[in-house]
Amino acid sequence: MTSSQEKHLAALKRAEDSVAEARERVAQDRWRPRYHVAAPAYWINDPNGFSFYRGEYHLFYQHHPYSVEWGPMHWGHVKSRDLAYWEHLPIALAPTEEYERDGCFSGSAIEKDGKLWLMYTGNVWTGEDRDNQLEQVQALAHSEDGVNFEKFAHNPVISAAPEGDVHPFHFRDPKVWKHGETYYCVLGSQTLDRRSGQVLLYRSSNLTDWSFVSVMAGGQEPKEKLGFMWECPDLFTLSGQDVLLCSPQGIAPVGDLYHNSNQSGYMLGQLDYDTGRFEHGDLQLLDYGFDFYAPQTTEDDQGRRILIGWMAMWEDKMPEQARGWAGTMTIPRVLTLENGQIRSRPAPDLAQLRGEGVSYGPVRLAPSASRQELAGVNGECIELEMEFDAGSATSFGISLRVNEASGEETTFTYDRARQKLILDRERSGAGPGGVRKAPFLLQQNRLQLRVFIDRSSVELFAGDGELAMSARIYPSVDSTGIRFFAEGGEATLTALRCWPLDR
């Protein structure tokens, strides 16, 4: 074993010991998710290295194992056979080499010759100004068993940004894939003047020797329109169409859209592998809620394209930090391309988490009546599947995590005049408030919703995967009520099913 490997193993043990000391205390917190992925303790952000390897899903994540604040990044690690039950594995990467001394930043994973390879960004701060005084390079690590990783002896494999209108320091988050017999990766980047985000394309014949191909997309629009930095790019194919996911920073709000500090969306197009140029359409949001960033996808053995995102947002208040942890992932979502739109549906595998459910329908919702409660429909870890008939109502919807005494509730309302679905967390508890609105058209006057609640989060899917809205919420432990309502006329809850969920 080399001295470099010994140093890495020692750093991993220190990190594991730190997390172990806090694990039991953190596990008792009432806001800890029951079935979402979260670190055993301390800080997490971007999903990394999401992959299907030897019959199991592997998910890594940006992790600071010493603090509830963002810090020198490690790679935490979980795996699952079924996307429902996750097992925590040892921390996979710790920053120990000079090229990564201030963090092993985001990246991806790929299988090659039976090994699982991680490609990630090594970060070094060269001064106090972290926007301008830094160096970023791309590095590799590999594993024979998918658990214990050794850094590539000849790192970094991409040691500098390419020449041209590419910022020399801000290029990161490699997503790697194989096309034919050649490996490719995309990197998030920005222009020299930092006014436009862009994505860079590289290729390699062996995964270790990389050459720059092109600025694949971006680099032309002003930052107000498409952001000053594109983070966490991901390129894949759905139904013969190439899809570019990315997370632009700095888009100016337009109407009801782009009110988060950063966005995550997709562009449909076609990558010319010869020229390296991606001709694409407009940016479309993947999630219209408050908390969704840096999504990453993988393809499994069923040919499904699975997505997981970070369910938090930069600069937002995170009340759980006072309790020894910070951040969680979304549930896994299956992506499809239908009628020129990405549809995002909860992975059907999650049905394994269901306990004994209850069903109702139809239930009349009258504006003169108090908000409707139904026996057995309540809780802090549940799944709801429902359909509304709008009837004559001007608006209708559902209130979650309701506590009448304290006034706490999180509300989803459909506004028929504006044809918008509205998420209101102004009274959701200890966390940040706010309202998010998303355009949505009813089909035959009906609205289908699926909602997943998990202690300090809620994820809603409208229609048949056409719309998703995610939010962190921090209600009190006794805020478990659920109510249905209509305003301005009658509506009908035509069908409802409710299941408790648990890992």
131: number of CA atoms within 13 Å, CB side?
6
User: In the sheet where 150-151 sits, what is the strand order?
Assistant: 104-112, 115-125, 134-143, 150-151
- The answer to whether 382 and 481 are in contact (CB under 8 A) is no
In 3D space, the residue among 297, 59, 74 whose CA is nearest the CA of residue 177 turns out to be 297
In 3D space, the residue among 171, 177, 229, 231 whose CA is nearest the CA of residue 45 turns out to be 231
Q: Are strands 284-285 and 265-272 parallel, antiparallel or unpaired?
A: antiparallel
Report the C-alpha gap between 133 and 279 in whole angstroms: 33
Report the C-alpha gap between 40 and 476 in whole angstroms: 22
Which residues are CB-contacts of 55 (< 8 A; sequence separation ≥ 6)? 81, 301
Q: Are strands 457-462 and 467-472 parallel, antiparallel or unpaired?
A: antiparallel
- The answer to whether 157 and 140 are in contact (CB under 8 A) is yes
Cα radius of gyration rounded to whole Å, the chain: 23
- The answer to whether 22 and 66 are in contact (CB under 8 A) is no
Which residues are CB-contacts of 439 (< 8 A; sequence separation ≥ 6)? 256, 419, 420
**Which SS3 state, helix, strand or coil, does residue 234 take?**
strand
Active-site annotation holder among 17, 29, 46, 102: 46
Vertex 396, ends 491 and 407: CA angle to 5°? 130
Q: Are strands 305-310 and 293-299 parallel, antiparallel or unpaired?
A: antiparallel
**For the chain, what's the residue count?**
503
As given in the structure block, the two tokens for residue 74 are: 């490690």
User: In the sheet where 341-346 sits, what is the strand order?
Assistant: 293-299, 305-310, 333-338, 341-346
As given in the structure block, the two tokens for residue 51 are: 């992959």
Q: Greatest CA separation found in the chain? A: 75
3-state secondary structure 129-154: CCCCCEEEEEEEEEECCCCCCEECCC
In 3D space, the residue among 55, 58, 44, 51 whose CA is nearest the CA of residue 89 turns out to be 58
Report the C-alpha gap between 325 and 455 in whole angstroms: 14
DSSP state of 262: B
Handedness of CA 198, 335, 145, 38 (dihedral sign): positive
Is residue 29 among the annotated active site residues?
A: no
Report the C-alpha gap between 308 and 314 in whole angstroms: 17
Distance of CA 432 to the CA centre of its chain: 19
Residues with catalytic roles = 46
